[in-house]
Structure 1
Amino acid sequence: MSWDEIGPKVQAGKLVPFESYLSQTRAIREAPSLWKDASITNACLADSGTARGALSIKNSEREQAGEIASGVSMVLQLIKPLDSTTPHSHSFWHIYIVIGGG
């Protein structure tokens, strides 16, 4: 494929000096949020009747639904020992943290 064929299909990029990039993308400092272990566990147990037993946590300061920080969301899921959950796929990564076992 020649550049003439590619040209109409892509937009022109822009080069920005690094210092300008930093000043334009510097995040506004936000107040931290805290979710206590007991409240998370109780909420997950109360919602365990759903297909996934999952809860989204949210920073009250964020306007975007489901965000804990700019561009970052988190879902908590409780899966009891020997139980399973509905298989699903929607993201290229997950972080698993085991907080207990049996």
Structure 2
Amino acid sequence: MSDNTTVKYDPNLLQLTESKAEDTTISLILGLSEVVDEKQIEELKESGLQVRSVIGDIVTGQSQIKHLSKIAALEYVLKVEASREMDIDSLDNILE
């Protein structure tokens, strides 16, 4: 991926885009510039995001890598991160 939307990707996501096939589906967390509305949810879906949850200005979902540049190109999308699995030890460290 070499377009200018990659500046919105976290390092983990950028690595995934360089090492996985374009049809690979990944889980995402999007940081938006504002609380999302229904029109924006539809735009995200049309851009290739399967929306899973919406909490204010945060959206989670899944998308194939080939759709990431369309999602990131949306003006109100500030950050695109790859979801990461947490193990119990990591959670324990956070809670201490």
Larger helix fraction of residues: 2
Q: Greater CA radius of gyration, 1 or 2? A: 1
TM-score range, shorter chain: under 0.3
Larger strand fraction of residues: 2
TM-score by length of 2: 0.23
Q: Which protein, 1 or 2, shows the higher relative CO under an 8 Å CA cutoff with sep ≥ 6? A: 2
TM-score by length of 1: 0.22
